[in-house]
Structure 1
Amino acid sequence: MKKIIAPTLLLFIFVFFASSFTSERMALHAKAKKTVQDTLKTDSIPVRLKYKPYKKAVHASYYHDRFNGRKTASGKRFDNSKLTAAHKKLPFGTAIRVTNPVNNKSVVVTVIDRGPFTRGREIDLSKKAFMEIAHAKGRGFINVNLEIVKE
């Protein structure tokens, strides 16, 4: 009987400590993810990003799923699950912070395409970027503020 109790007790202690370690680790990871949102890692040194205001209260929409896999104007393949955008004038590779003033959520996207070609719209976001900042998921457009990321 003693031969069975000792290994069972050891297994219980191991599982208990392993699960508490995992939950602490997950909590630290979630906290780190929030604090790293506005930092850029270069050579493993976090650098605080600086923003230059570009435009306020502009009309933003998102790409339809049918554009997934197609080549963009920059030559890259479009992927709706990445944080990318299309802008008419900004150079390819420009990082832009897009902020929804209603809920103050923001996301940093990279310009990889030209567009949108609908009058009154300033920027087209990938679906992932749009859904991260949208306050009403049922609409396909929102008014946002744009800031250019300065390194």
Structure 2
Amino acid sequence: MMKPDFRPLTAALGILILIALFMPGCSKHVDSGYSRHIPPGSSGKPSSGRVPATQKPYRIKGREYVPIASADGFVQTGKASWYGRKFHGRKTSNGETYNMYAMTAAHKTLPMGTWVMVHNLENNRRIKVRVNDRGPFVRGRIIDLSYTGAKKIGIVGPGTARVRLTALGRAVSYSEKTKDPVEFKPLNYWKGNFTVQVGAFKSRANAENYREKLSATYENAHMVTYEDDRGLFYRVRIGRFSNLKDARRFSERIMAQGAFDRAFAVGE
């Protein structure tokens, strides 16, 4: 009796598995006549101390979007739309859970956490919303408001309205009575305290020895600890910079000199 030949079936299954593994990880949502895509890999949390994933360029429908590093002085005019119950409880691009009753919004390039003044130019109403998602990816539309935000500004019925956006920055104080933000600070990923990471060790002794060796040549050689699901790490960093550009230039220079196998700018 001949044994059945399973080779064609095995090959077909292998092809299907490969297709599943390499398909783009981008989810599509449709609501109120528009489609929204959550950029893959966006968690809103810093990755190993680097710039947050939500600040990295992403591509939707063949078009690349580059989040801006600073919202200072940002003003934009165009159409606003909104998204509601269909997305309530789902993850936003920065990893938060979308709440249709909160004062939040989706924008294609503003830094996450930026509060924005939205002025409805058709009825003169104004609201403040916090960006925690990406979208809308429809030509001419510049912001997607939560249901509550859209309701307060009179957009729920018509679906869209012409608005002007003015970036306010990161909220630093809130009203005790209304809990609304009342004071803001410019949100700028280019300015701050930065250094360059050149090594990570599981052994504290090895990290200390490496830091000591680098301190003879580089300013501010220091060690910081980091813990994740893999365990505790001791990271060695050098240099001190007041902006991200200088830190990146330094990391690129020492890499080009062959001084380190790996070096990258981090915020502290």
Q: TM bucket by the smaller chain?
A: 0.5 to 0.7
Structure 1 counterpart of 2:160, from 131, 141, 146: 141
Q: How does 1:52-131 map to 2 (within 5 A)?
A: 52=73, 54-56=75-77, 58-131=78-151
Change (3 A) 1:137 1:90: closer
Instruction: Flag the structure with higher helix content.
Output: 1
Which secondary structure state, in structure 2, belongs to the residue aligned with residue 60 of structure 1? strand
| Residue identity matched to 2:108 | K
| Residue identity matched to 1:54 | V
Distance (Å, rounded) in 2 between the aligned partners of 1:119 and 1:104? 24
RMSD (CA atoms): 1.6
Deviation at 1:137, TM superposition (A): 4.5
Deviation at 1:52, TM superposition (A): 4.2
Q: Which moved more, 1:117-126 or 1:105-114?
A: 117-126
Deviation at 1:53, TM superposition (A): 5.4
Which secondary structure state, in structure 1, belongs to the residue aligned with residue 148 of structure 2? helix
Distance (Å, rounded) in 2 between the aligned partners of 1:147 and 1:71? 25
Distance (Å, rounded) in 1 between the aligned partners of 2:86 and 2:156? 19
Q: What is the TM-score when the length of structure 1 is the normalising length?
A: 0.61
Deviation at 1:70, TM superposition (A): 0.1
Provide structure 1 residue ranges, at least 5 long, that are not aligned to the other structure.
1-50
Distance (Å, rounded) in 1 between the aligned partners of 2:84 and 2:152? 16
**Higher-Rg member (1/2):** 2
Deviations 1:14-52 (A, max 9, x none): xxxxxxxxxxxxxxxxxxxxxxxxxxxxxxxxxxxxx94
| Residue identity matched to 1:83 | M
In 1, are the aligned partners of 2:120 and 2:153 still within 8 Å (CA)?
A: yes
Which secondary structure state, in structure 2, belongs to the residue aligned with residue 98 of structure 1? strand
Deviations 1:90-130 (A, max 9, x none): 01000000011222210000000011112221110001001
How many residue pairs are counted as aligned between the two chains? 99
| Residue identity matched to 1:96 | V
In 1, are the aligned partners of 2:116 and 2:167 still within 8 Å (CA)?
A: yes
Higher relative contact order (CA 8 A, sep 6+): 1
Which residue does 2:15 correspond to in 1? none
Deviation at 1:138, TM superposition (A): 2.1
Distance (Å, rounded) in 2 between the aligned partners of 1:80 and 1:144? 20
Deviation at 1:62, TM superposition (A): 0.2
Q: What is the TM-score when the length of structure 2 is the normalising length?
A: 0.35
Which secondary structure state, in structure 2, belongs to the residue aligned with residue 147 of structure 1? strand
Distance (Å, rounded) in 2 between the aligned partners of 1:105 and 1:124? 16
Which secondary structure state, in structure 2, belongs to the residue aligned with residue 85 of structure 1? strand
Provide structure 2 residue ranges, at least 5 long, that are not aligned to the other structure.
1-71, 170-183, 185-268
